[in-house]
Amino acid sequence: MRIRKAYIRTLTALLALALWLWPIQTEAVQAPGEEAPAPLELRARAAVLMDGDTGRILYGKNQDQTLPMASTTKIMTCILALENASLDDVVEVSSYAASMPDVQLNIREGEQYRLGDLLYSLMLESHNDTAAAIAEHVAGTREAFADMMNQKARDIGCRDTFFITPNGLDAEDPDTGRIHSTTAAELAGILRYCLFQSPEREGFLRVTRAPSHAFSDVSGTRTFSCVNHNALLTTTKGAISGKTGFTAGAGYCYVGAVKKGEKTFIAALLGCGWPPHRTYKWEDMGRLLAFGDENYDFYELLKETPELPPIPVKNGIGSQTGLTVGYPEPASLKILMNQNEPVTIKKKVAKELTAPVAAGMAVGQVDYYVGEDLVASFPVTASETVGKWDLEFCVKTLLNGFLFCYNG
């Protein structure tokens, strides 16, 4: 019995690998309409509107172009501090941290602060000296913290993001020539991680949504008050969180999330004007959010299910096995999409199986695409067991027949 179970497991694994070698059958569920939404007039050099639930890009302008991102960097600094340190940690200020340029909390070398308090300074007022102090506390050095930032970016799925500083100040790596930069698509993805996927997402929201925060250093000698400069929180209904940024190299930048009914949008803007045009980012945000709300709605994709005929089973006791698609219960796949986007179902199913086949054994998968985006995959499994027609089966069949006749 153990040998047979091991054989079935091995067969299942080999079959799953082999499925990629079989032709993919495609069914068009919904053809694209005649008219797609008109392109937006945005001031940003690069911009993205993302579906916060799935991470799917709904609108992009130069979405994969690498550009400096200024203090939007600090969302990564904040989430790494939350994930790798305690809010009650005592942070001691180094000379390096104290030397950071404006915007500053004006902390001084040798002073000590509670990490939890410094996170409000980081995110509400965007203090550069605070960012450096946090980075050194979490990783030991700025360089080590940059390594942590880049590793986390890779873990999230960012391939074109490159962090050098914890505060977003313009910088260039002398060895590679790469600048401190990201893309609009990846910046939106990083905020999505912070808000919805990180184990410390609640702490991130608590800090970034706070209207203000007052605190003192550990000794109680100096007191500070921070006010949240993310205007989206007070001007836009349903605003969840976000971060502004500006440097001479990056221009005005912003990344933020807004919930409109059941829809969750994340927007990222890079190079959205230079002084005196600091309001451009809010204008672009308004255009992106209105575009998403007006042109995208939820559509049920599982109203159409593919036909999957039984698969022949070679050398089986029974010529075929039925198939079952592992849809969730209740069976629903609501996706935020534009009515003009094509929906296709791609089936990867084995043409033939070789006995024995166990009920529940993986024999393929069904993929749902909206446009070119894979939005869901469901396993296809055998719905019934098919034994192998071999010597053992023949002997057992003959023996059972003999015993039946003898007893009769």
pLDDT of residue 280: 97
Q: What is the pLDDT of residue 390?
A: 56
343 near 367, Cβ under 8 Å? Answer: no
pTM: 0.85
Residue 87 and residue 116 in contact, taking contact as beta carbons nearer than 8 Å: yes
Q: What is the pLDDT of residue 1?
A: 42
E strands, 68-202, where? 90-92, 112-114
Q: Is 175 exposed, middle or buried (0-12, 13-18, 19+ CB in 10 A)?
A: exposed
CA distance linking residue 77 with residue 123, whole number of Å: 9
Residue 35: predicted pLDDT: 64
* CA atoms of 302 and 151, how far apart (whole Å): 37
Q: For residue 274, what pLDDT is reported? A: 97
* Domains in the chain with CATH codes: 2-32+301-392 (2.60.410.10), 46-276 (3.40.710.10)
Rounded CA-CA distance 303/312 in Å is 28
pLDDT of residue 24: 59
Q: Quote the tokens at residue 290.
A: 């209105």
CB 157 within 8 A of CB 150: no
Distance CA 69, CA 165 (A): 11
78 and 208 Cβ atoms separated by less than 8 Å: yes
Distance CA 211, CA 123 (A): 11
Write down the residue that tokens 């501090």 correspond to. 81
pLDDT tens across the length of the chain (408 residues):
443 444 444 444 444 444 433 445 666 666 555 566 778 999 999 999 999 999 999 999 999 999 999 999 999 999 999 999 999 999 999 999 999 999 999 999 999 999 999 999 999 999 999 999 999 999 999 999 999 999 999 999 999 999 999 999 999 999 999 999 999 999 999 999 999 999 999 999 999 999 999 999 999 999 999 999 999 999 999 999 999 999 999 999 999 999 999 999 999 999 999 999 999 999 999 999 999 999 999 999 988 788 888 888 887 677 788 888 988 888 889 999 999 999 999 999 888 888 888 888 889 999 999 999 999 999 999 888 888 765 454 445 445 554 545 555
Note the pLDDT of residue 11.
44
Residues contacting 319, CB < 8 A, separation 6+:
312, 313
Residues in the chain, overall count: 408
DSSP 227-264: E---THHHHSTTEEEEEEEEETTTEEEEEEEEEETTEE
pLDDT on residue 17: 41
Please enumerate in sequence order all residues whose Cβ is within 8 A of that of 48, keeping only pairs 6 or more positions apart, or say none: 57, 59, 60, 61, 63, 184, 185, 187, 188, 266, 267, 268
Alpha carbon distance 382, 16 (integer Å): 13
| Distance from C-alpha of 299 to C-alpha of 334, rounded to nearest angstrom | 5
Alpha-carbon torsion 113, 119, 122, 128, what sign?
Answer: positive
